[in-house]
Structure 1
Amino acid sequence: MQIRISWPAGHLTATLDDTPTTQALTQALPFASTARTWGEEVYFDTGVSVPRETTARQVVDPGTVAFWTDGDALALPYGPTPISRGDECRLASPCNVLGRLDGTPGLLATVRDGDPVRVEVVDG
């Protein structure tokens, strides 16, 4: 499944795996939210609440689409966060991994704290 994440300065698509969290998120689409930034990570509230999956991870690759169960938010890391060690992408706590961004994760650097964000299914 593909989703599109849009903000005033651009957009990215992401390919999501079939997981319980992805299924819950899909039912909430489309939705609008407000972007927050934390180091080189963008996150935003989804209005979806799901439990942490057994495969949840705290350190992920840049461009991973993660679901932060502690904040009911999508977390999109593209580089180090304030708690990273070196260049790793370390999330605030273990997150459910949903898939990967298509294209260049560094485009997320154009997202500003407080930007409106829209998430929707890509038709196709």
Structure 2
Amino acid sequence: MQTQSPLRIRISWPAGHLTATLDDTTTTQALAKALPLVSTAQTWGEEVYLDTGVVVPRETNARQVVEAGTVTFWTDGDALALPYGPTPISRGDECRLASPCNVLGQLDGDPRLLSTVRAGDPIRVELMDG
């Protein structure tokens, strides 16, 4: 993997798609090796998450409260977690994850598009060229 250029992924589901730009982290590299992958979308409040089968340790900069549209990896569930608004444990409008997650990068575009993902939808994550 080229470390000088950020990694870009495409996340697609029946009602739409988003792209994301990821930082070069140990977790990102492990995820990239597993792509493309197709999983089943789950929702938790205004967060979409999906099992990846990737097992990585929690990184030192893991965070539980992030901005909407942050691409995170939930190490407790081996899942990609994509918050776009409050979850059941949020205080106010914050995006509070179930537990601290590794921060991978940021969605490109409006994270509210994730509101069209339904629990049980097939969701595909793949690397973009370039």
Give the TM-score normalised by structure 2: 0.95
1:51-90 deviations in whole A, cap 9, x for unaligned?
0000000000000000000000000000000000000000
Distance in 2 separating the partners of 1:21 and 1:45: 14
Mark the runs of 5 or more structure 2 residues left unpaired by the alignment: 1-6
Find the aligned partners of 1:121 and 1:113 in 2 and give their Cα distance. Answer: 23
Identity %: 82
* 1:27-106 to 2 correspondences below 5 Å: 27-106=33-112
User: In structure 1, how many angstroms separate the alpha carbons of the residues matched to 2:53 and 2:15?
Assistant: 24
Count residues in correspondence: 124
The alignment partner of 1:82 has SS state of coil
- Residue 23 of structure 1 is aligned with which of 20, 25, 29? 29
- The one-letter code sitting in structure 2 at the alignment partner of 1:82 is P
What is the letter of the counterpart of residue 45 of structure 1?
D
Unaligned runs of 5+ in 1: none
TM-score (norm 1): 0.99
RMSD across aligned C-alpha pairs, in angstroms?
A: 0.3
Superposition misfits of 4+ residues, deviation over 3 angstroms:
none
